[in-house]
Structure 1
Amino acid sequence: MTSTEQHKGQETAFAVNAKGYYGKFGGAYIPEMLHPNVEELQQNYLQIIHQADFQEEFQNLLKNYVGRPTPLYYATRLSEKYKTNIYLKREDLCHTGAHKVNNTIGQILLAKRLGKHKIVAETGAGQHGVATATVCALMGLECIVYMGEIDIQRQAPNVARMKMLGAEVRPATSGSKTLKDATNEALRHWINNPVDTHYIIGSVVGPHPYPDMVARFQSIISEEIRSQLLEKTGKENPDYVIACVGGGSNAAGAFYHFLDELDVKLIAAEAGGHGIHSGMSAATTFLGKPGVLHGSKSILMQTEDGQVVEPQSISAGLDYPGIGPLHAHLWDSGRAKFYAITDEESIEAGFELTKLEGIIPAIESAHALSVLKYLNAEANETVVVNLSGRGDKDLATYMKYL
């Protein structure tokens, strides 16, 4: 474990600018054939999502279909162990088992208002694929999900769910056969089907406006944290918010309403894999440098000549060689502190939560839980960990360590 403390900079506002940048990161670096699709979104997304009828339908579905608000649970035994006050934001209790559905509900409503009747998506751990297939079934839209061939093997329960929901799951067989490659295939599909298809990106990555749009849909997480903390403790702001970061949508949602609250420490847990210097890691902020991946400028793992380095993580949802541009800006400015959590540490944290609180977390979420041992939080401080998903999909992996 190491923390990136070397990148301290001038604190600034952290909202995206008109050109889609967070500081020096973001933008829309796309093939000419994608310009009409992306420009249509750029010109319409804010107007559509702020319409009263959109918000009414969105909020209704979040409440009555997704099951929001999700609980903010005071973890008594975990708090006793770490001698501080630990709250878990229970995104694992969302319909479909993770935070991903907050975004897919928003994007499917946007797609319908743009006149699209086919959906394409990518997925790593399968949670975004399941959430996309779910909302397509709900709305009666055709759904194609690209998933790395390796991820299809290690996330079989989610593949079965997607198929049962009526989605076609297409394997990505190039490169590392994981999330990066699934994203490549989904982008190619969108280029070839620009008129009738909307691409539901699952994280705060991709060309503008996707990072901002996904963060806005996920911001319900931090909105609820503030109101729930106020009710439970008398103050809206915690001392720490911890979330795992692959592309970073759950972290963007958990951080969103605290970005300019500088008394709130933002903590991101990346996938350290077998160790930062092992050659088998996905700790982007430790191993990466600025570059362009999947349509935006960010921090990514790459060789000296700019070829993307294959990531490695026990967690399919964190097995990505970059981070979203918002997170790159938070890292570069020093606003957020990043930790690299190894595969072994995440498994240990997953078992710890299970045995202390009776909650089996997704291995992605277990990376965030593993940071607790490094915090040294005070007894009177408040720590919120975003429990982004449940561990049903990872039981086969957990069982190997029993």
Structure 2
Amino acid sequence: MLRKLGHREAVQLQNSFNQTPNQVPKATKKVVFVQPDSSDSTWTNGEVKPKTSGLPIRAIPRSPESGFDGGDDGDIYHEERVQSTGWIQKRYANGHQVSIFYLRKAEQTEVLTFPSCFTNGHSWECVFGLICAFSFSFLLLEESFQLYVFRRRYFKRFDTWLRMVIFILVIVGFFFQRNLAVLRFLAAIGVPCAWIHLVFLSGFHGATISIMFIHIMHKRFLGGILLTLTVATGCAAGFLIIAHNTASGVVDSRTLVKILFRPLLMILGEYEFIDTYETFEDDLPTLIYSTVLLLCIAIVGSLVLVNLLLALILSDIMDLYNICHSKNLFRQARQVVFYEKLAKTFGVKMVVPDRVRICAHKSCRLKVFIQCCS
């Protein structure tokens, strides 16, 4: 049952309505507040009518009959979050009359941003965020110095463009920390790019076979993608022609996107022969055409997909080894030049002299050999 409020308690709760929604304290237990214009007699006992100030009315509604466990049969109990104030709005419909109540402030999940670490205290999330921020600043500074040292050569490597995409996504995500929808989209792109870049790093600093594989990927990466897309587009056009006048209906935009992506998945081995056979089982010409198209995808798509690995096997291994050895030496020299420039910028003594004289005469090389042996 609803109880009558005392004068002191009623005055305290009455004054709370003159405050802003963010300053209103949490609702008191077993106290009922209703809107002043409510005519539902169920909520009249113990009612305190606040001033009509437009502020949300906080309440914990309790039904005299059932303690408000959702209302009687046929009643509608609706709850939603008020976006402007962050309060929870509860609607209790009894027949044709609707009473709207506002409960205590909703438990909102605080979006942890980088500036909030300096204002709302410290936690392990803030410590991890600061470590990531300093690491990103160091990597960005190193990347900027590489751009200054190598100039146009900086843009001639595929992994460089991959790093640029990752850095741009991180910087854009810093400005959209409170927009979780945009941040989720940026993270969904940036995280796979970072893992792909890790594959390239493992190839650069790994064994010789890894360097050879990365070299082939650099050389034939775009060509392999174009061949794969060409095969997929051509087969998608064939499936689009088949699906044009079938019992499935008109080809809409969703069906068109599905048809375009279907050959790409089939190239990976998901040929869907059983589904295609059951779909066109009664139409023999269409079934034959679909089977031939699936056979083309299975053969041509598989050849295109393993083109890079086949190139590694069929190429001249010694020639490829010499190329990769030269690439490895060039990469090491590139790192030496970079760190020497970096050391010179900070005033550190050069480890390697600027000029090294090498004589090509056999006699000079023989003298150097005798001096080294002695």
- Does TM-score exceed 0.5, indicating one fold? no
TM-score, normalised via structure 1 length: 0.20
TM-score, normalised via structure 2 length: 0.21
Q: Which has the higher contact order (CA 8 A, sep 6+)?
A: 1
Q: Which has the higher helix share?
A: 2
Of structures 1 and 2, the larger Rg is shown by 2
Q: Which has the higher strand share?
A: 1
